């Protein structure tokens, strides 16, 4: 086996070993066996909430254990093919197996990052808000581009995207939007995307074709389930109703069905206009507000745990996290991790995983004081 190929094999073996350690393999296998038995017990559903919790745990264990077993088997198979190809002097067999191993290395590294999504709400669905910065049409157009970028990213992962609220710009783009992204680990993946995004380009709205800099903000917070109780006294909120804006059928702009709820102590405001019913929009807005306040609590806990980390001050709402330059050169650069892409068109079409993985890894390293590869 060539030295380069042996290095890839060693890296895959090490990564698989780390995945097994992360799962606490023997205990995970026993736990899955127990959950499989429980799933066959009809009395489990006497408590639907507990049943759903156990079934989610079972599915997660099945996915994780199955992935590790599949990677282990694929590694053995490809090593066997290389040995066979070398014995029979069949270069094509060796080349195919080596290509499969290179692909496996990328997959196993992605799995390692997935194991880092073990935070309290990482597995949950998530809300994503986009807000245009100052600058009128330029920033509003940039905000709509960001919304499209995250929508495309979600679609690549086969997540479901529901638009809850959109405020259209006067000439183009959007002033703000709120979407619900549904999928396993949606919040875990997106949580590091909160912050200010900067765009540099030749403006399509400037007749003199001058270069413009625009800003827009992303804000991510998790959907919380019924097991998490967030008590908000009605005396602490202000509820406003208004007419929905944008397209949406014959009843849009004819009734005050849209709802905005403002939490007075924190100033946090959420809005929903997805439904024609004010009652349904109000219920959804309450869910969103509880989620925002829960996310604030998660941030406070993380800030306390990382109070000594110098990098912490550069992460969060109000801080620029990424720059997208379309002219005079093409470059997307994450200002926290240094990760770059010279293909802004791919990034704006949803190719965000490299940025997310690096930011997530950095976040985990910052809270643990050890490199990602050493986590178990």
Residue 36's CATH number: 1.20.58.410
Alpha carbons 292 and 290: distance in angstroms, whole number: 5
Predicted confidence at residue 309, as pLDDT, reads 37
State whether 133 and 276 are in the same domain.
Answer: yes
**Last-in-domain residue among 70, 85, 115:** 115
Q: Is residue 294 one of the residues assigned to a domain? A: yes
358 and 251 share one domain: yes
Task: Assess whether 71 and 162 both reside in one domain.
Answer: no
Most confident of 121-125, 240-244, 340-344: 340-344
pLDDT per residue as tens digits for the range 322-346: 999 998 899 999 999 999 999 999 9
Between the alpha carbon of residue 372 and those of residues 32, 116, 194, the distances in Å are 26, 8, 22
Domain range holding 59? 3-115
Reported as a pLDDT band with limits 50, 70 and 90, residue 296 is confident
Does residue 42 lie in a domain region? yes
Instruction: Examine residue 247 and state whether it is found in any structural domain, yes or no.
Output: yes
Q: Is residue 47 helix, strand or coil?
A: coil
Query: And the tokens for 85?
Result: 């190809």
Single pTM value for the model: 0.64
Asked if 191 and 214 sit in the same domain, the reply is yes
Q: How many domains does the chain have?
A: 2
Let me know whether 97 and 203 are in one domain.
no
Residues 155 and 87 in one domain: no
Is there a single domain that holds both residue 338 and residue 252?
A: yes
335 in a structural domain: yes
Q: How far apart are CA 85 and CA 89, in angstroms?
A: 6
**Do 360 and 237 share a structural domain?**
yes
- Residue 215's pLDDT is what? 92
Domain boundary among 115, 146, 176: 115
CA angle 348, 351, 352 (to 5 degrees): 95
CATH of the domain at 205: 3.30.70.1660
Is the predicted pLDDT of residue 227 greater than 70, yes or no? no
Residues linked to residue 38 through DSSP beta bridges, in sequence order: none
Same domain? For 290 and 174 the reply is yes
Which sign does the torsion angle of CA 362, 368, 371, 375 carry?
negative
**Same-domain status, 158 and 60:** no
CB–CB of 246/252 below 8 Å?
yes
CA 46-182-196 angle, to 5 degrees, is 140
CB 261 within 8 Å of CB 269: yes
What is the structure's pLDDT at 302? 62
> Do 13 and 62 reside in the same domain of the chain?
yes
Residues 165-188 pLDDT 10s: 899 988 889 999 999 999 988 999
Per residue in 264-287, pLDDT (tens digit) is 988 889 999 888 888 889 888 888
Residue 73: which pLDDT band, with cuts at 50, 70 and 90?
A: very high
Same domain, 258 and 136: yes
Of the residues 115, 144, 165, which one is the last residue of a structural domain? 115
């Amino acid at each position: 086996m060539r030295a380069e190929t042996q290095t890839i094999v060693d890296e895959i073996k090490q990564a698989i070993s780390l995945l097994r350690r992360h799962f606490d393999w023997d205990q995970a296998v026993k736990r899955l066996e127990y959950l499989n038995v429980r799933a066959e017990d009809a009395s489990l559903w006497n408590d639907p909430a507990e049943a759903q919790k156990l079934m989610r745990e079972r599915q997660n264990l099945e996915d994780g254990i199955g992935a590790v077993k599949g990677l282990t088997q694929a590694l053995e198979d490809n090593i066997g093919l290389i040995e066979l190809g070398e014995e029979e002097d069949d270069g094509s067999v060796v080349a195919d197996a080596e290509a499969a191993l290179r692909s496996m290395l990328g997959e196993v590294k992605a799995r390692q990052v997935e194991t880092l999504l073990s935070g309290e709400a990482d597995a949950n669905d998530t809300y994503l808000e986009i807000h245009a910065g100052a600058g009128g049409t330029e920033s509003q157009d940039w905000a709509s581009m960001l919304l499209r970028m995250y929508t495309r990213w979600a679609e690549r992962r086969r997540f479901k995207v529901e638009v809850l609220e959109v405020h259209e710009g006067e000439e183009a783009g959007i002033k703000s939007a709120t979407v619900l992204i549904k999928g396993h680990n949606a919040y875990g993946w997106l949580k590091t995307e909160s912050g200010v995004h900067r765009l540099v380009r030749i403006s399509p709205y400037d007749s003199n074709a001058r270069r413009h800099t625009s800003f827009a903000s992303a804000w991510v917070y998790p959907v919380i389930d019924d097991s998490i109780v967030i008590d908000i006294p009605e005396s602490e909120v202000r509820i406003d109703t208004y007419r929905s804006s944008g397209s949406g059928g014959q009843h849009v702009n004819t009734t005050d069905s849209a709802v905005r709820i403002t939490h007075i102590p924190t100033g946090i405001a959420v809005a929903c206009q997805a439904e024609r019913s004010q009652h349904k929009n109000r219920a959804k807005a309450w869910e969103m507000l509880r989620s925002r306040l829960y996310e604030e609590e998660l941030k406070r806990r993380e800030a306390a745990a990382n109070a000594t980390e110098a990098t912490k001050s550069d992460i969060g709402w109000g801080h620029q996290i990424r720059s997208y330059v379309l002219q005079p050169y093409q470059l997307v650069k994450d200002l926290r991790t240094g990760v770059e892409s010279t293909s802004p068109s791919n990034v704006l079409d949803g190719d965000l995983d490299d940025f997310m993985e690096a930011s997530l890894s950095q976040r985990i390293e910052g809270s643990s004081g050890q490199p990602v590869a050493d986590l178990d």
